[in-house]
Amino acid sequence: MKNIDRIRNFSIIAHIDHGKSTLADRLLEYTGAVEKREVEEQMLDNMELERERGITIKARAVRFVYKADDGNEYILNLIDTPGHVDFGYEVSRSLSACEGAVLIVDATQGIQAQTLANAYMAVDHDLEILPVINKIDLASADPDMAKREIEDIIGIPASDAPCISAKLGIGIKDVLERIVKDIPAPKGDSGKPLEALIFDCFYDSYKGVIVYIRVINGALKVGDKVRMMHTGAEFEVVELGTLSTFSLDKKDSLEAGEVGYFTASIKNIADTDVGDTVTLCDRPCEKPLPGFKKSQPMVFAGIYPADGSKYGDLKDALDKLRLNDSSFTYEPETSVALGFGFRCGFLGLLHMEIIEERLEREFDLDLITTAPSVIYEIHKTNGEVVYIDNPTNYPDPATIETACEPYVSATVITPSEYVGTIMQLCTDRRGEFIDMKYIDTNRAELHYLLPLNEIVYDFFDSLKSKSKGYASLDYEFKDYRPSKLSKLDILLNGDIVDALSFIVHSDRAYARARKICEKLKDHIPRQLFEIPVQAAIGGKIIARETVKAMRKDVLAKCYGGDITRKKKLLEKQKEGKKRMRTLGTVEVPQEAFMAVLKYDDE
Amino acid sequence: MTTNKDLSLYFHIPFCVKKCEYCAFYSLPRAGEEIKALYFDAIKKQISFLPRERRIISVYFGGGTPPVLGVNRLCKLVESVVSGFRLSDNCEITVEVNPGTAGAEELKSLRAAGFNRISLGIQSADDAVLTRLGRIHDYAAAEKCVAYARAAGFDNLSADVMFALPGQTAEGFLISLEKIVSLGPDHISAYSLQLEEETPFYSKRDLLDFPDEDVEEAQYGSLCGYLKSNGYEHYEVSSFAKPGFKARHNSVYWDMGEYFGLGAAAHSFFNGKRFYSSPDVNAYIKKAQEGLFAPTNYEEAPVTGKDDMAEERLMLGLRTSAGATVPALKKDAAKRIARLGYGTFDGERLILNDKGFRVSNAIIATLI
């Protein structure tokens, strides 16, 4: 019954802010999948946070019908992709579920780092790429420049690329026609053993995990016994169907070429890894689909409740978040300074910020986060190799043969005028220059090998501020390289604060130590006694600042028996204390921890 | 009920000649004769609502500047208290006076009407400083006022002194203090200037040359040292007294004694409850005309719980040289505070010293 030739599975890929979500909205509106008034801004990004940040964190998919000029009705499955460098693997899985990709290029900005990264990824997945030039309504738009760049840099023809304004709804039909004409129909055989790719999943408290799949071969029916080929978990399908804009549409079966969902009373999201292959227990396919990777956290940080008694709440919140995001990990850890908390692993810094914000916003928690750390590979003198994601566990330097740190290969695209500053930035952050080419007379593409450790500080922020927001970054893990590393301890009033320790390249230890001591001095309020703030490597103090004792904190008058002012002051002090952590005898506000996370060059 | 407790009375007179540059208290400058007369009637009305069965141990007329209400009116009010209530033998009856707002005759009348203590807003002996503060008098007026007060028979006289003032050096303050002490006040209230929002000082704070913390500390040091060597006891954060001259009325506040406040913006602590009248003269007058002085007609302060009382006791007690009993769970903290040199702790009671008084907010915060 189902005609596989009338299915088109595609993604929209773009650099951030080039108009991906807006175009998605217009396609849905144009085909009547949603009424215009239903369109909450960019409905594909349905998490509040995503909307605010203008980025898509989790992939979503939607199916809609388009009646083309050839008189036929086509089923279009739009598979959305996360739009940030931290989520490269998730993007690649979404692309694997498609035959084509609409590549949006902003006519005012041309190609940017993520345009390239995403386009290359689409090429790697043998997708048909349909270039689209967006924002032609803007005065500074230069569609010809954008087309030329696509041809010159990515190497795909773009002379007849649709020129559109997603914002104003110009050229939407053109895009739909081209999707139908240029993007190939899926190939697949519903008669073969089931091969279905999991490209996303999320947790629903009634149905359990809802698994988003693309059926490559074979067919899936309600009641089928399925196996996840990598995790080995087996389930019986309870419900399946396709994905409309605001709901799940129940169906009896999903066949080759189709995109849809199934549920199977899956309690644990860890059983459904993105990229895994679903097959039938009694008639399995030969081997899983290629490209599966277990998603690996790259950045680690301790997350603690600001108020120690909220540990239970934090745990509940992490449990709940994890239901929808299997890419972050957490396990309990204890800090002398901060008490009970969790060591959390993230795909990258942005991912970390998103989780933090969701914890604070959706679960109303006040958090203290320790400085993010990468995983160090330590070769010990006894031949043992250990991986360290928490500075507290850094081995005694005497037992270390070689310490290695992770490097990434990074691509920066920047207007030419900032090339000098950005090269300086990369060099400052211990980057190793690979090559540079000019995309056109105005923009250059720089390749560097950079220690991930440097990126997890504030490389991205510095890059943006040094290029007035124009430079873009993309990176992927390269390898571990031997490095000169030191563990830097921070002492307050003579006591090491374990939560403030971090691992740093030896050449930068002094500068970093001084900076952090200064920052702590500025952020720790004066107390009843003088507080030395010191930084040490091993037992050796390498930097010191002093928080002087407070000299005046008194309300002179209690006038006419009005003690309300004094009470208010006291209440304020009590409130303030709630946001402080007592480390030994020193009270340290949350901001002090935050300040240590960010260091700047000024 | 605690009706057999002693009681103190506070009268708030929210009128003054001119607001000082630093003043954030509720006070109306240039109020007309009509509103003053109405305010006087209103207070008289409120007096008639007061309980008569409790013994009165102190009475205090503060402001503003009370004589601005009219010395005759003040006399009538105090007379109605003296004649209408049961007063303790040594009942302290204070009136605040600004130099220049009461002459020799007026002070005599006030003394005769029943006031036996006068609190003089001298603030500084440096005329340049006084001008900068927006005070209406110079130092010569203060000297005269002290002489008149003594002549009128006030044998309990307190002087207000301020430090940490714009343009005031450590030496300048000490010279000023020496001059004021030479006038022989029995009691001195010394305040460091507090920069309050919504004052002229606040809006031009960047133009004012406030002493840095070294200078302020030196001023505080010489304040405590000089007054001690002249026989004054530092018995409360801002209060110094010759033997026998501690302010009885203020001590009521710090000892959690009960007091009833009369007038707009006046606060009360009565029958275990804290409440107050809103700082609005017209509203107060209206309330009086309608006879709305039942306990339920006051604004209630937001605290009356048991914990709050304990906290208040600690917070107020630590202001004084008698100190406060520290809760069992906070004894280690109190020990530490003593060890850091802020006072003495005998295992029960923490008593702050001069250094401790200066940071008493922070100390209290560690104990609650």
Of A528, A550, A570, the CB nearest to B315: A570
Interface-testing mutation among A524, A550, A563, with chain B (most B C-beta atoms within 10 A): A563
Task: Please state, for a pLDDT cut of 90, what percent of chain A lies above it.
Answer: 51
| Chain A residue nearest residue B160, CA to CA | A557
Domain co-membership, B172 together with B317: no
Of B191, B312, B357, the CB nearest to A563: B312
Of A553, A556, A561, the CB nearest to B362: A553
Domain limit, last residue, from B191, B220, B254: B254
Q: pLDDT by residue (tens digit) across B9-66?
A: 999 999 999 999 999 888 999 899 999 999 999 999 999 999 898 999 999 999 889 9
Residues in chain A within 8 Å Cβ distance of B25: 559
B350 three-class SS:
strand
Domain co-membership, B121 together with B197: yes
Cβ contacts from A onto B, under 8 A? 98
Q: Which residues contact A580 (CB under 8 A, 6 or more apart)?
A: A587, A588, A589, A590
Domain co-membership, B57 together with B185: yes
Domain-located, residue B289: no
Q: Which residues of A197-234 are buried (b: 16+ CB within 10 A; e: fewer)?
A: bbbbbbbeeebbbbbbbbbbbbbbebebebbbbbeebe
Are B62 and A577 in contact (CB < 8 Å)? no
Under a CB-based contact definition with an 8 Å cutoff, are residues A369 and A303 in contact?
Answer: yes
Interface-testing mutation among A493, A528, A564, A565, with chain B (most B C-beta atoms within 10 A): A528
Domain co-membership, B183 together with B115: yes
Q: Give strand pairing partners of A63.
A: A77
Residues in chain B within 8 Å Cβ distance of A563: 253, 267, 274, 312, 315-316
Are B337 and A528 in contact (CB < 8 Å)? yes
Domain limit, last residue, from B216, B234, B254: B254
Global pTM?
Answer: 0.70
Are B261 and A528 in contact (CB < 8 Å)? no
pLDDT per position in chain B (368 positions), as tens? Answer: 444 689 999 999 999 999 999 998 889 998 999 999 999 999 999 999 998 989 999 999 998 899 999 999 999 999 999 999 999 999 999 999 999 898 999 999 999 999 999 999 999 999 999 999 999 999 999 999 999 999 999 999 999 999 999 999 999 999 999 999 999 999 999 999 988 888 999 999 898 999 998 999 999 999 999 999 999 999 999 999 999 999 999 999 999 999 999 999 999 999 888 899 989 999 999 999 998 887 777 887 765 566 778 888 999 999 999 999 999 999 999 999 999 999 999 999 999 999 999 999 889 988 98
Are B340 and A528 in contact (CB < 8 Å)? yes
Q: Which 3-state string (H, E, C) describes A264-304?
A: CCCCCHHHCCCCCEEEECCCCCCCCCCCCCCCCCCEEEEEE
Whether residue A601 has pLDDT greater than 50? no
Peptide bond just before A32 cis, omega within 30 deg: no
Residues in chain B within 8 Å Cβ distance of A527: 362
Domain co-membership, B243 together with B322: no
Kindly report the nearest CA distance between residue B311 and chain A, in angstroms.
9
Domain-located, residue B125: yes
Interface-testing mutation among A552, A565, A577, A578, with chain B (most B C-beta atoms within 10 A): A552
Task: Please state, for a pLDDT cut of 70, what percent of chain A lies above it.
Answer: 93
Q: Distance of CA A489 to CAs A18, A70, A456, A504, Å?
A: 43, 70, 19, 10
Domain-located, residue B354: yes
| Chain B residue nearest residue A569, CA to CA | B361
Under a CB-based contact definition with an 8 Å cutoff, are residues A394 and A438 in contact?
Answer: no
| CATH code for the domain in which residue B11 is found | 3.20.20.70
**Letter for the amino acid at A498?**
D
Q: pLDDT by residue (tens digit) across A394-405?
A: 998 889 999 999
A367 three-class SS:
strand
Question: Mean per-residue pLDDT for A53-70?
Answer: 71
Are B357 and A553 in contact (CB < 8 Å)? no
Of A554, A560, A570, the CB nearest to B10: A560
Find the domain containing B337 and state its range.
Answer: 306-367
Are A555 and B361 in contact (CB < 8 Å)? yes
Are A560 and B336 in contact (CB < 8 Å)? no
Domain-located, residue B263: no
Domain-located, residue B299: no
Domain co-membership, B246 together with B323: no
Question: Mean per-residue pLDDT for A560-575?
Answer: 77
Kindly report the nearest CA distance between residue A415 and chain B, in angstroms.
43
- Give the position of tokens 């004694």: B257
Kindly report the nearest CA distance between residue A518 and chain B, in angstroms.
21
What is the spatial distance between Cα A227 and Cα A531, in angstroms, rounded to a whole number? 60
What is the spatial distance between Cα B269 and Cα A550, in angstroms, rounded to a whole number? 33
Domain co-membership, B230 together with B314: no
Domain co-membership, B245 together with B343: no
Under a CB-based contact definition with an 8 Å cutoff, are residues A561 and B312 in contact?
Answer: no
- Label residue A598 by pLDDT band (50, 70, 90): low
Of B12, B25, B213, the CB nearest to A552: B213
Domain-located, residue B276: no
Domain limit, last residue, from B231, B254, B277: B254
What is the spatial distance between Cα B17 and Cα B100, in angstroms, rounded to a whole number? 10
E strand segments, A222-358: 225-228, 234-236, 239-243, 248-251, 253-255, 259-263, 277-280, 299-305, 329-335, 339-346
A24 three-class SS:
helix
Q: What is the pLDDT of residue B194?
A: 86
Are A561 and B10 in contact (CB < 8 Å)? yes
Domain-located, residue B275: no
Domain co-membership, B325 together with B204: no
Q: Which B-chain residues 334-363 have CB contacts (< 8 A) with chain A?
A: 336-337, 340, 342, 357-363
- Label residue A43 by pLDDT band (50, 70, 90): low
Residues in chain B within 8 Å Cβ distance of A570: 311, 315, 361, 364-365, 368
Q: pLDDT by residue (tens digit) across A235-282?
A: 999 999 998 876 788 999 999 999 999 999 998 887 888 899 999 999
Domain co-membership, B247 together with B325: no
What is the spatial distance between Cα B93 and Cα B327, in angstroms, rounded to a whole number? 35
Under a CB-based contact definition with an 8 Å cutoff, are residues A140 and A108 in contact?
Answer: yes
Start-to-end CA span in chain B (Å):
28
Domain-located, residue B278: no
Q: Any CB–CB contact under 8 A between B364 and chain A? A: yes
DSSP at B229: H
Domain co-membership, B108 together with B184: yes
Domain co-membership, B43 together with B117: yes
How many domains, chain B?
2
